[in-house]
A = this chain, B = another copy of it.
Amino acid sequence: MTSATGTPAYRRLSVEARRAQLLDAALSLFAHRAPEEVSLDDVAEAAGVSRPLVYRYFPGGKQQLYEAALRTAADDLEQCFAEPPEGPLTARLSRALDRYLAFVDQHDTGFAALLQGGSVVETSRTTAIVDGVRRAAAEHILDHLAVDEPGPRLRMTVRMWITAVEAASLIWLDEDKQPPLDELRDGLVEQFMAVLTAAAGRDAQTADVVRAALALETPDGPAGGLARRVLPVVSDAAHLL
User: Which residues of A are in contact with B by a Cβ distance under 8 Å?
Assistant: 116-119, 122-128, 130, 152-153, 155-157, 159-164, 166-168, 171, 175, 178-179, 186-187, 190-191, 193-195, 197-202, 207, 210-211, 214-215, 217-219, 223-231, 233-234, 236-237, 239-241
Contact = CB atoms under 8 A, between A and B. Distances in A.
Tell me which of A118, A153, A179, A228 has the highest count of chain B C-beta atoms within 10 A of its own C-beta.
A118
Given A161-B164, A190-B199, A215-B237, 14 more contacts: A117-B117, A153-B179, A159-B171, A163-B166, A193-B198, A195-B195, A197-B233, A197-B234, A201-B230, A201-B233, A207-B233, A214-B236, A214-B240, A224-B241
Contact of A210 (B202, B234, B239): B234
A88 B237 CA distance: 13
A117 to B, nearest CB: 5
A70 to B, nearest CB: 12
A240 B217 contact: yes
Nearest to A162: B167
Contact of A201 (B116, B130, B190): B190
A187 B202 contact: yes
B179 A152 contact: yes
Nearest to A210: B233
Nearest to A171: B156
A227 B126 CA distance: 42
B233 A200 contact: yes
B215 A236 contact: yes
B167 A160 contact: yes
23 contacts: A117-B117, A117-B130, A118-B128, A152-B178, A153-B187, A159-B167, A160-B191, A161-B164, A163-B166, A164-B167, A190-B199, A190-B201, A194-B198, A197-B234, A198-B230, A200-B233, A202-B229, A210-B233, A223-B240, A227-B234, A227-B240, A228-B240, A231-B241
A167 B160 CA distance: 6
Contact of A118 (B124, B162, B219, B233): B124
A233 to B, nearest CB: 5
A1 to B, nearest CB: 37
Contact of A198 (B125, B168, B191, B200): B191
A101 B159 CA distance: 18
